[in-house]
Amino acid sequence: MSETVQVEMRGTIAFVTINNPPVNATSTAVRADLLAAVERVQGCELAVLRCAGRSFVAGGDMSEFDAPPVEPHLPDVVNAIDNSATPFLAILHGTVLGGGFEIAMACAYRIALPGTRFGLPEVNLGLVPGAGGTQRAPRLLGWKMAVEMACLGQLKTAEDLLELGAVDAISEMPDDLIESFRGRAFQRVSERRLDTGLDRDAFMDQVQKFSKGRKGPMHNLDALSWASEDYTHAQPRERALHLELRQSQESKALRHLFFAERAATKPNVLSDVQPKQINHVVVVGGGLMGAGIAAACLNTDRSVTIVERDKPSATKAQETVAGLMQGALKRGKITQSQLDTRLSALITTDSYAAASGADLAIEAVFEDLGAKRAVFTALSNVMTKDALLATNTSYIDPNEIFDGVPNPDRCLGIHFFSPAHIMKLVEVIRADGTTNESLATAFSFAKSLRKTPVLSGVCDGFIGNRILAAYRRAAEYLLADGALPHEVDNAMRTFGMAMGPFEAQDQSGLQIAYANRRRQDATRDPAERYVAISDRLCELERFGRRSGAGWYNYPDGKTPAVDPSVTDLILQYSDQPGLSRRAFSATEIQTQLLAAMANEGARIVEEGIAANEADVDVVKTAGYGFPRWRGGPMHWAKTQGGEAMRATLKTMEKASPGSWIRADRYQDKFKQVRS
Ligand code: NAI
């Protein structure tokens, strides 16, 4: 027997321990050893199955998913446990996920340690479970919880399962209970009969809403519905679907992102760097972003000081943060006592003196270089020389912001996304002087806020907003050449974006991008095509939804409605020499806008601003509503292939000569050879 599974005989009870750090994934070795262990325990009265380390089996070994499956397959192992003449007692702790939960459900009895959590997260990878998970879950948990776990990917607690009789006991001292299971009657879960079939209609709305264009949730609903059939007949069907889905674009995209997110949040350059502890955070500017950042910090039980420009603004900031906390209380995310504790850890003031003891300052004042520089001068006068200084700027070069600040090694960008207490993405921006220790501290801080930090170098808009600018530019070119905003938005929503580019602009407001374009006027390449439709809207004070109108009208205050006057404005704009309008299909719109994003992303990687393509995909999926199940723009471009990308970029260059700089990797082949 190899080291991944140990069997120890104590009288007539066998103790089987899986030991495959870090999370006891069901690798080929574990499956083979476990199968051998099942044979070995035959003849015993009871086999106790548990895992060493921090968790029971928390899933399969995803690195094996791209290769053909190797024997023994997990369903064979799980069925061997199910059919074993010696009943298995599972002792569960940590997170019992995927294959781990499938193994646990095949055991005759289950004891959970307090705090154990259970899940079938295959849906999050575009898969269905492949070892009887969808067949045993309804038999053990009933349809409702089975749907919540398999289709919606929800985690459940030991208490949830105890209530349904799906675990036999919750205990801190499971060993004390083992004896009581000796000889206890049981019925195999696979042999249980369900009283009713799956009422698909009852769950359809919920599953569809969760799906957002993905197929995984519905596949899981299908597989669950087979649980009304005989197990031996339905389980191979589930397995076949699991194997088929491993090859699907959706699953490949989601698996790509799973690895991309893990890698992005642990950059190689920071692997040996020790982060510093951040206890007290000062946020300068308590507006939309500052209040959200403050709330995110308070949620991790840190002390937070907001410095505002005057007393009324400080009071307003206090109210905004309190409002965010009240919202969390209403949604049941926090208790009244948590709210009270967190708000008591907040100070709002108009005096920098209160910032003196803080470990980290995050500046979120108006997007104005002078204002930001004044903030850091004031901060460096009161804070210690090694306190971290961060700007939340969207576009301004942090090197200019920090120019003249003592100890530039501790200066960097920590760029949150709106709403900052909710959005996962944080870009950590390395300025010229920033040390790895400062970056590592920002990463560790962002992760403690349950965010997804991604490292970015300095360029206009960093990774995310720079790609956004290319995407919006391509979208405006389409308007000038024949498309209308709602056609573009519909096409991108059909692709899976949370919102189309124009409704998204209306949502966040057109002002910041407008101001940024004015900043770029002096340096913009005169050969680059500039479509000024968005500028015209801003000149008409149509700044988006909050100002009452933007690309759309908002008759009820929130739902966009096509405005004929905007259509007229676009038609008039196109009525100029050299422009002629034509129809664009949804596919053409999608291909061009995605190619614009991927091309800009590739340039960002080639310039060394992003470490790799996967980081770009994490930025777009975690912060910009790019559908996760499409893997991100770089993954999408790979699925298209270089040839198709070059063809699309050529079409776009022909329509807007001199306006697109093609990334090296999308240059024509002969040029690549020559360069
Ligand atoms: P905002 O206008 O909502 O808030 C700015 C706050 O700063 C106001 O409360 C203002 O009173 C305060 N302030 C201005 N000057 C100050 C000073 N000298 N000292 C102290 N407080 C001062 O602006 P918002 O949207 O929160 O943006 C703040 C920063 O975050 C900008 O740099 C912006 O580019 C960036 N950002 C904005 C995002 C967004 O979606 N709005 C997303 C990511 C970054």
578 CA distance to ligand 1 middle (Å): 41
363 CA distance to ligand 1 middle (Å): 8
Nearest to 93 by CA among 131, 33, 34, 52: 52
**Full-model pTM:** 0.92
The predicted pLDDT at position 516 comes to 82
User: Residues 323-359, buried b or exposed e (16+ Cβ, 10 A)?
Assistant: ebbeebeeeeebeeebbeebbeebbbbeebebbeebb
Average pLDDT, the chain: 96
Asked whether residue 592 carries a pLDDT value surpassing 60, the answer given is yes
Average pLDDT on 228-247 reads 96
Asked whether residue 79 carries a pLDDT value surpassing 70, the answer given is yes
392 CA distance to ligand 1 middle (Å): 9
The predicted pLDDT at position 53 comes to 97
From 366, 400, 425, 456, give the residue whose CB has the most ligand 1 atoms within 8 Å, as the site to mutate: 366
Distant-in-sequence, close-in-space partners of 177: CB < 8 Å, separation ≥ 6: 111, 169, 171
Percent of the chain with pLDDT over 70: 99
CA-closest residue to ligand 1 atom 17: 309
Give the chain's largest Cα–Cα span. 93
Average pLDDT on 426-435 reads 98
pLDDT tens for 505-528 read 999 899 888 988 898 899 988 889
Q: Find the residues whose C-beta lies inside 6 A of ligand 1.
A: 284-290, 307-309, 313, 364-367, 371, 375, 392-394, 416-418, 508, 512
Asked whether residue 622 carries a pLDDT value surpassing 50, the answer given is yes
The predicted pLDDT at position 670 comes to 56
The predicted pLDDT at position 386 comes to 93
291 CA distance to ligand 1 middle (Å): 9
Which amino acid does the sequence have at 621? T
Residue 675 pLDDT level (bands cut at 50, 70, 90):
very low
pLDDT tens for 176-185 read 999 999 999 9
Residues 653 and 37: their CA atoms lie apart, in Å, by 63
290 CA distance to ligand 1 middle (Å): 7
pLDDT tens for 123-144 read 999 999 999 999 999 999 999 9
pLDDT tens for 342-383 read 999 999 999 999 999 999 999 999 999 999 999 999 999 999
Residues 80 and 590: their CA atoms lie apart, in Å, by 49
Question: What is the DSSP code string of 268-319?
Answer: GGGTTPPPPP--EEEEE--SHHHHHHHHHHHTTT-EEEEE-SSHHHHHHHHH
pLDDT tens for 299-344 read 999 999 999 999 999 999 999 999 999 999 999 999 999 999 999 9
pLDDT tens for 532-577 read 999 999 999 999 999 999 999 999 999 999 999 999 999 999 999 9
pLDDT tens for 6-64 read 999 999 999 999 999 999 999 999 999 999 999 999 999 999 999 999 999 999 888 88
Residue 672 pLDDT level (bands cut at 50, 70, 90):
low
66 CA distance to ligand 1 middle (Å): 45
Q: Which atom of ligand 1 is nearest to the CA of 395?
A: 34
From 394, 427, 545, give the residue whose CB has the most ligand 1 atoms within 8 Å, as the site to mutate: 394
